Amino acid sequence: MTQRMVGKTVLITGGTNGIGLETARGLAKMGARVMIVGRNPEKTARVAAEIGAAGTLLADLSELAQVSRAAAEFREREDRLDVLVNNAGALYSRRQETNEGIEMTWALNHLAPFLLTRELLPLLRRAQTPRVVTVSSVAHRFARLNFDDPQFRRGYNGWRAYGQSKLANLLFALELARREPDILSHSVHPGFVRSGFGQDMTGLEARLFRLSNRFHLADRFTVTPEQGAQTSLRVASDPSLLVSGRYFVNERMAQPARQALDGDAARRLWQLSEEAVGP
């Protein structure tokens, strides 16, 4: 297992924090040429040096123009991509829009991985056994896709927006598997990870979060970033996983919610996403 990724080129978004960092570290230890996407130049360079990354890309992935630019830069540098790990994501308790006028959760958690993957498909197709790992969440079980208002211009709720984006991640992975049969496309739930996730929360959510941390209540129900990364690591590297379009929890294949298996919704979401990101 230690050297199973030798000769493989891997790109990881959100690779400077939490499970993204531990996923990058773990794949580098397996011998992969790991490249990480980060937003802060100094932090990204420091993390890359720490884990022995082969390179970095700088981008604010909530901005679609920057996603496209990062993909173009990667295509200029590399001739193929063996594994793409769509890891970056966030939860925002108050509604906010990007500079491009897109609701932040929808832009970062769904449209960014959709666009990045689409733009890197030519390089993925050149790999021998290409893989796309999309980090989702068990939160998808309580969500529905609001096709009429996916950006929650009315009645915004941070948890609802987050859950919808995580359901979109599963449907994206499912439709990618259908459209690209030579690419192994999977989604994963990393568990409830103790990290900086949720730091944008305000109001009652923030008070409950701080109270939980103060009394270490989260320690009973959460895992470390290193533990949380194990499912992504297995799906990204295990040569025995040769069936596409699956969902993984605790390093094992799991059954997602029924709405995450809706092929018609997956195709409709793909079309909606194409219209949102442009040609």
Q: pLDDT 10s digit of each residue in the chain, 279 long?
A: 578 899 999 999 999 999 999 999 999 999 999 999 999 999 999 999 999 999 999 999 999 999 999 999 999 999 999 999 999 999 999 999 999 999 999 999 999 999 999 999 999 999 999 999 999 999 999 999 999 999 999 999 999 999 999 999 999 999 999 999 999 999 999 877 655 544 444 444 444 444 444 434 344 446 788 888 999 999 999 999 999 999 999 999 999 999 999 999 999 999 999 999 998
* Residue 36, both tokens: 């990480």
Q: What tokens were used for 52?
A: 């022995």
Q: Which CATH superfamily is domain 9-277 in?
A: NAD(P)-binding Rossmann-like Domain (3.40.50.720)
Nearest to 23 by CA among 58, 47, 57: 47
Q: What residues act catalytically?
A: 162
Q: Where would I find the beta strands (DSSP E) of the chain?
A: 9-13, 33-38, 55-58, 83-86, 131-135, 184-189, 246-249, 252-254
d(C-alpha 45, C-alpha 128), whole Å: 30
- Residue pair 36/15 in contact (Cβ under 8 Å)? The answer is yes
Rounded to two decimals, the pTM is 0.90
